[in-house]
Amino acid sequence: GGKILTGGSSIESEGNFVQPTIVEISPDAPIVKEELFGPVLYVLKFQ
């Protein structure tokens, strides 16, 4: 799983829409390996 840093809520409108979203996620998560269609940005921590 990941941690939603901002956004992520659905938008009250006809259709399936979500707010622009920023997610903190681990490098082995599926979202990192697959193409994403939507206003979602993932952030990876590193040292």
* Of the candidates 45, 42, 39, 41, the residue with the CA atom closest to the CA atom of residue 11: 39
Which pair of structure tokens corresponds to residue 11?
């938008």
Reported as a pLDDT band with limits 50, 70 and 90, residue 45 is confident
Tokens of 35: 């193409």
Give the separation between CA 30 and CA 2, rounded to whole angstroms.
11
pLDDT in tens, 2-38: 899 999 898 888 888 889 999 999 999 988 889 888 8
Q: Which residue has the higher pLDDT, 1 or 47?
A: 47
Amino acid (1-letter code) at residue 33: K
